[in-house]
Structure formats: C-alpha cells, structure tokens
A and B are shown apart, each in its own frame.
Chain A
C-alpha cells in the first residue's frame, strides 16, 4: 500500500510537471509578472523551483512531505496541511453521512428488489437506480438547490457556514443545515451502485441450490431472506461500500462546487484551476490514503467475517 501511495504521488507529480500552465503566471498573474523586476521574478522562480530538474524537485518535495511539511498552498496562502485539515473536516462530515445513509438504504432497496425480482418493487427500484446513475451528481445538486433553496426557501443555498459570521459564531446547527443538501445529494447518488450490486447478489442467492433446498424444507420466503439471504449478501455489500469510497470522493468534488461548500472537493477544483501544485498533490495523496484504506478494510473484513477464510486453515 505504501508502494502504491508513492506511485500515486509520482504519477500526480509527473502530471503536474507536464502541465503547460506556468505556475508563476497562474498565481502571480500576467500583469503583475510583467511589472516585476527581473530579480523579483528570479526569486519567485527559485521559490517554486522552476529551474531545477523535476527529479530533484520531486525528491525535495517528498522529503518534506514525509516529514509532515506539505508545503505552502499558492491559492490559499496558507500551509497545505492547515488547509487540508479544515477542508477535510468539513468534507468528512458530508461524506461519512452520505456513505452510511447510501449504504444502508441501498442495501435495503437491493435486497427488496432481489426478493421481488421482476415484480413491481423490483422495477421501481431498478428504474430509480438507472435514472440516478444516469444523472450527473452536479445536476441533481442543482435540482435540489432549486427545489429546497430557491423555491421552497427552507434550506440555505450554499456555503458550509452562513455568510458574514465569525467562525466562532457558527453553531453546530448552522453547520448541519448547510450540510443537509450536499449530504442528501451524495446519498441519493450513492444508493444506486450498492442497490444494483446487492440486487444482483440477492438474485444469485435466491436462485442458489441452498435456497431451493430451504424452500423444499418448508421455509417461507421471509424466513429464507432473514436466515440465508441476508447472511450471504451482507458481506459483499459491506465490502463494496468500503471499496466505493473513491466514488463518494468524486461525487463530493461536484456537489461541493454546486453548494459552494468549502471542503476537499472545492479545494481540489480551486487548486486545479489555479495550478496550485502542492495543494493538489496533497489532496490526491490524502484521498488515495482513504481509498486504499477502504480497500484494505474491505479485505481484512472478509478475512474476519467470512468463515470460509477465517477457518480455512482447519480444513482437512
């Protein structure tokens, strides 16, 4: 995993160095650059290390990074670590809520669809999933914004905190109110993946020989679902949910942009548009840590929960 993370950092570093956008111009501005003296420009160039070969720059960056010095964000004019700490806190709140909500609801819907395969509930759930997975998250966010923010005026239209308030004056309730719509959007989009997957698994299980045998032994559909199906479907569903952290991250980039919610996603867009290399690199690596962590947990979970792996050694 560490190896993969290093690779992620190298890849993103290469991509950033490939960029034809000149960080000096992007951050200082063409006009300002023109009015500066040669010395000043050289000083700035030295600051961003424009002249040094990429390898040396990467090593220097990596050395600092490992020590916990993520560099300065060019856009926010603050240490990257500080920017990330604040933004990540905001985003995590959103993402964790959406992750749990979409997981639970998606699982229930998937099980229901699998049990009622081909009948009305299944059609409705499948239809919902198809429509939602064909809907861009940002447009769904716009719709919700229109309905709840502009039309019904019950929820704020943007920002993670009310405008014009000192950070200390923001109550938890305010934060919550501002997080409802983004979290809702993320949850709604997250459901379809897990629901469709659970439905497939559920259909497999319901067609399996052991369910057939359970039916032959007089168990009712409800008993079969409770006793056999849930047990066999839950594990893959949880695994999938852990492995789908990357999706939620991606979704939050779009959703935060629409709601001007100041989180990691918005920071990533700002960093990308402004060629803020240190920030973008750090965001990429932090999110990769989450994704790989999710995958790792999924794998470990399998080993602990599934008796076929846990007790595999006892087999004669």
Chain B
C-alpha cells in the first residue's frame, strides 16, 4: 500500500453565517452552513451533493476567500495539511487553487475570451499555453477574439474549464459546472475534470445532480441544510444497502432509475433549523436522541452522522 499523503483540501466543522435583520430592529446571525466536513485527496474527484438552497456555493467561496463582507467563517480549512489563511489563499488562488464557475455570468461581458483566459498577460509563453489549451479542448483560434455572448453553451463550458488550466492547478473547485447543458456536453466536461484529477489535482465538484456525481466522482459527500450527513465512496451509491444515512437513501430512491420517489417535507430554512440532526423532522427513524449533537461514525469505507445507522445497515 502506498504512503498516504495529506489530502489537498480538508475542511472540518465549517460554519458560515450572515448578519441579517429580522422584523423590526433586531439583528441576527443567520447560519447558512452549520457543520460541513469534506476531504479532497490528490488525484480524486470528490462531489459534494446537495439540493439547491443547501449552501453549496458558499463552500466554494469560503475556500477561495471571496465571501461577501457580511459573512463570518468558523472552522478549519486545511490546504496541503496547513491552515489556509487569508494571506495564503490570496497567493494561491488563480494559480494552484482554481475555480470553475457556473455560468457565462462569470465571464466579463466586454472582454474577448482569449485575453480573459490569459488574465491580460501578453507574453509569448501565455499565448502559447492558450493555443495549446485551445487545441486540447478543440476550440478554434477565432474563439479567442470572440466575446462571451457570442459563445454557445458548450463553448462557454470549455472556455471556463480553460481558465483553470492557465495556472498550475492542484485544487480545482467546480461549482455546479453543468447547469442545463446537453448530456454529451456534460459528459465531456466531466471527462475534463477526470483528466485534471489524473494529472494529480484534487477536484471538488459541487453539484445538485446525484447521478452525475455517482458517474464521475470517486467519493461523495451528502450535504443537507448546512451539514455533511454522510461521506462514502461513489460506488456505495450503486445500491441502497451500502448507504447508511436515511437522507442518502431517500436521495437514492429519488433518482429517476430507482423509481423517482420524492421525499416528503422540505429542507428547513436556515432560520428554522432544528437542533441536532437537520434531517430529523423529515426522517422516518426520528427519535428523541436525534435532537442532540450527532457524532461521526465510521462505516467501512465511509462515515455517517446518524445514530440509527446500525439499524439501517
């Protein structure tokens, strides 16, 4: 067995909250991410799967240090085994730590794509690198001279992936990279992430699309209402029996090929968060103890945060 390197990215107990006003004059801290753990080893794709409104995008922004000013962050973010301080992330982002954004809105509408990917650099090496990336992604040279609004969905996708390659990526954070794209484009985009991982980078894939995650990722972290509930190898999602958390199972059942069964109830809003397990109010196995703090438990190759996990097995 090969020696275990420290993971590229490790997040423990991440908490993100926002200052907000309630009715009248009282100001409250609105906790959007409560307790998030995720670990991205080098050379692997880890998918964080959660439904919309679970605070996934904030995870990406927190790692990159680009949260809005009224947000406050607690918990540990380790990069390469060391704390990722504000100073460090400022140095690394754009080069070692790269973001692959969601949509065209993340490209400057008035800047030609080529210049934009090169971040304005005009030296020969950057230009050559750009040409190389364009060849790899089968983009025509003319695209360099086009504005973002002139690109098709698939082209935009490739351009945004290309931005990541201009640096020396060791950690790639892809935030919902395939919204509403054609299946073949999506596949192609995922292949690119796999290539990046094969080159030794850690890929953090943030998505709501469980099927996509199961298909491409190595590991999957199930994220619900601000907390990670379960972390398992992607293979565990092949069958319902290898999943331990009732929410993960519910997700599995809700997949189109497993019968499309919806989960009753709705995800709680950050302000009305229950104590203890956030899934409690919707869980069939809910008991009194669920309203206390739930510890992690090892489950073979993964871990789960559910006191009823044994019964579930």
A–B direct contact (CB < 8 Å): yes
Binding site for B on A (CB under 8 A): 208-210, 212-219, 223, 227-228, 231-232, 235, 306-308, 311, 314-316
- B108 in contact with A228 (CB, 8 Å): yes
**How far does the alpha carbon of A223 sit from the alpha carbon of B118 in the complex, in Å?**
13
- A315 in contact with B150 (CB, 8 Å): yes
- Counting CB contacts under 8 A, is B134 at the interface? no
Output the residue of A212, A213, A231, A235 with the most chain B CB within 10 A: A213
- Counting CB contacts under 8 A, is B19 at the interface? no
**How far does the alpha carbon of A216 sit from the alpha carbon of B95 in the complex, in Å?**
10
A-B contact pairs, 11 of them (CB 8 A): A213-B106, A215-B64, A216-B98, A216-B101, A218-B91, A223-B120, A227-B111, A231-B110, A231-B111, A232-B110, A316-B152
1/0 contact string of B111-154 vs chain A (CB within 8 Å): 10000000110000000000000000000000000010110100
Known: A210-B105, A212-B66. A217 touches B94 (CB 8 A): yes
Number of interface residues of B (CB under 8 A): 29
- A308 in contact with B109 (CB, 8 Å): yes
**Could you tell me the distance in whole angstroms from the C-beta of A120 to the nearest C-beta in chain B?**
16
Nearest residue (CB) in B for A215 is B66
What are the residues of chain A within 8 A of B61 when measuring CB–CB? 212, 216
- A315 in contact with B93 (CB, 8 Å): no
What are the residues of chain B within 8 A of A216 when measuring CB–CB? 61, 64, 66, 93-94, 98-99, 101
**How far does the alpha carbon of A217 sit from the alpha carbon of B94 in the complex, in Å?**
3
What are the residues of chain A within 8 A of B150 when measuring CB–CB? 311, 314-316
What are the residues of chain B within 8 A of A311 when measuring CB–CB? 147, 150
- A212 in contact with B147 (CB, 8 Å): no
**Could you tell me the distance in whole angstroms from the C-beta of A203 to the nearest C-beta in chain B?**
12
Output the residue of A208, A209, A235, A316 with the most chain B CB within 10 A: A209
- A-B Cβ contacts below 8 A, count: 74
What are the residues of chain A within 8 A of B107 when measuring CB–CB? 210, 213
- B99 in contact with A219 (CB, 8 Å): no
Tell me what chain A mostly uses at the interface: helix, strand, loop, or mixed. Answer: helix
Known: A232-B110, A315-B149. A213 touches B99 (CB 8 A): yes
- Counting CB contacts under 8 A, is B163 at the interface? yes
What are the residues of chain B within 8 A of A212 when measuring CB–CB? 61, 66, 106
**How far does the alpha carbon of A215 sit from the alpha carbon of B66 in the complex, in Å?**
7
**Could you tell me the distance in whole angstroms from the C-beta of A158 to the nearest C-beta in chain B?**
47
Binding site for A on B (CB under 8 A): 61, 64, 66, 90-95, 98-99, 101-103, 105-111, 119-120, 147, 149-150, 152, 163, 167
What are the residues of chain A within 8 A of B163 when measuring CB–CB? 217
- B110 in contact with A307 (CB, 8 Å): yes
- A306 in contact with B66 (CB, 8 Å): no
Nearest residue (CB) in A for B68 is A207
What are the residues of chain A within 8 A of B102 when measuring CB–CB? 209
Known: A209-B101, A217-B98, A218-B94. A308 touches B108 (CB 8 A): no
- A218 in contact with B90 (CB, 8 Å): yes
**How far does the alpha carbon of A168 sit from the alpha carbon of B237 in the complex, in Å?**
94
- A217 in contact with B110 (CB, 8 Å): no
What are the residues of chain A within 8 A of B64 when measuring CB–CB? 215-216
Q: Out of B94, B98, B106, which one reaches A209, CB within 8 Å?
A: B106
Nearest residue (CB) in B for A207 is B68
Q: Out of A228, A232, A307, A316, which one reaches B147, CB within 8 Å?
A: A307
The 6 A-B residue pairs with the shortest CB-CB distance in the complex, in nearest-first order: A218-B94, A217-B94, A213-B106, A216-B99, A209-B105, A209-B106
What are the residues of chain B within 8 A of A235 when measuring CB–CB? 110
**How far does the alpha carbon of A231 sit from the alpha carbon of B102 in the complex, in Å?**
23
**How far does the alpha carbon of A214 sit from the alpha carbon of B149 in the complex, in Å?**
18
- A217 in contact with B119 (CB, 8 Å): yes
What are the residues of chain A within 8 A of B95 when measuring CB–CB? 218
For the A-B complex with A210-B105, A218-B93 known, give 17 more contacts whose Cβ atoms are closer than 8 Å: A209-B102, A209-B103, A210-B106, A210-B108, A212-B106, A213-B107, A216-B64, A216-B94, A217-B93, A218-B94, A219-B94, A227-B108, A227-B111, A231-B111, A307-B149, A308-B109, A315-B149
**Could you tell me the distance in whole angstroms from the C-beta of B70 to the nearest C-beta in chain A?**
11
What are the residues of chain B within 8 A of A210 when measuring CB–CB? 105-109
